[in-house]
């Protein structure tokens, strides 16, 4: 199994590598990286790994930024001293969340989980057919309705959102379906002229934005079909949102 480690503390890097090799001799550590910038560059220029261990707080940013810029096509195990990022981690193919200090027992359970769930990350025949159906036009997406799959035109989709670790899509008629992809993967697939990542929970079609208003530096967005919760664009993202909504 080809593994990469993304961790900015050299001692933690070395300790994790030693424990992995001790627990499973078949593991091959492809590389050890310490920053968001270097990780993005490596992932863009090297074969896809089988598994990635990632510390959340790196020297130059949160590691979530790696996967927002490089779609996740492999299982991820996040390592951190904090539990506050747990929900956000599930947007990025996270199959485990290890709190430091990491013990061999915790790591062993994570590796067993990887082996159990590995088939989930391999593209089966059905997923290949779905992707082939989507690829030529890039104007449709496949969602689940019970045990069946439904093809939706992107122009009919109002927004995508996450709730309780599940990604949903809602169309303009109010119909709600489930997606197998996370928001980072969706963001890479859809046209940025028509869709915008409002925050960590929502990607919205421009046509779904009924109105918006400034709110202490942030921007509150009102969507149609209506959502009960309040939706905000952060202060940092607000300028980009204004340019997008103006078509610039």
Nearest alpha-carbon partner for 169 in 200, 143, 130: 143
Percentage of the chain surpassing pLDDT 90? 49
Q: Which domains does the chain have, with CATH numbers?
A: 2-121 (3.40.50.2300), 127-245 (2.40.50.1020)
Query: In the prediction, which pLDDT does 248 show?
Result: 63
pLDDT over 60 at 136, yes or no: no
How far from 4 is each of 108, 123, 139, 228, CA to CA, in Å?
17, 21, 34, 41
Query: In the prediction, which pLDDT does 222 show?
Result: 96
The two structure tokens encoding residue 211: 């109105």
Give the whole-angstrom CA distance, residue 248 versus residue 110. Answer: 45
Beta bridge partners of 168: 161, 178
Query: In the prediction, which pLDDT does 130 show?
Result: 43
pLDDT over 50 at 134, yes or no: no
* pLDDT, the chain, mean: 85
Query: In the prediction, which pLDDT does 187 show?
Result: 84
Query: In the prediction, which pLDDT does 87 show?
Result: 63
Query: In the prediction, which pLDDT does 186 show?
Result: 86
What's the rounded mean pLDDT across residues 185-201?
A: 89
pLDDT over 70 at 126, yes or no: no
Q: How many CA atoms lie within 13 A of 234 on its CB side?
A: 7
pTM exceeds 0.85 for this model: no
Q: How many CA atoms lie within 13 A of 79 on its CB side?
A: 22
What 3-state DSSP class applies to 122?
A: coil
The two structure tokens encoding residue 220: 């509150």
Give the whole-angstrom CA distance, residue 147 versus residue 144. Answer: 7
Lowest mean pLDDT among 8-12, 121-125, 169-173, 182-186: 121-125
């Amino acid at each position: 199994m080809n593994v990469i480690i993304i961790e900015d503390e050299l001692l933690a890097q070395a300790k994790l590598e030693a424990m992995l090799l001790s627990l499973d001799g078949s593991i091959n550590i492809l590389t050890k990286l310490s920053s968001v910038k270097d990780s993005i560059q490596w992932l863009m220029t090297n074969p896809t790994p089988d598994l990635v261990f990632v510390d959340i707080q790196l020297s130059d940013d949160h590691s979530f930024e790696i996967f927002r810029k490089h779609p996740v096509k492999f299982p991820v195990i996040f390592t951190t001293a904090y539990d506050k990022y747990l929900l956000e981690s599930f947007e990025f193919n996270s199959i485990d969340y290890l709190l430091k200090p990491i013990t061999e027992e915790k790591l062993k359970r994570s590796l067993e989980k990887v082996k159990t769930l590995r088939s989930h990350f391999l593209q089966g025949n059905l997923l290949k057919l779905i992707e082939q159906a989507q690829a030529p036009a890039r104007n449709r997406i496949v969602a689940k309705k019970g045990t069946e799959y439904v093809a939706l035109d992107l122009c009919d989709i109002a927004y995508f959102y996450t709730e309780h670790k599940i990604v949903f899509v809602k169309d303009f008629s109010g119909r709600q379906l489930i997606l197998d992809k996370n928001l980072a993967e969706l963001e890479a697939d859809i046209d940025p002229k028509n869709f915008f990542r409002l925050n960590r929970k929502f990607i919205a079609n421009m046509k779904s934005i009924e109105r918006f208003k400034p709110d202490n530096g942030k921007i509150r967005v009102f969507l149609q079909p209506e959502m009960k919760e309040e939706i905000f664009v952060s202060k940092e993202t607000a300028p980009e949102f204004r340019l997008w909504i103006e078509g610039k």
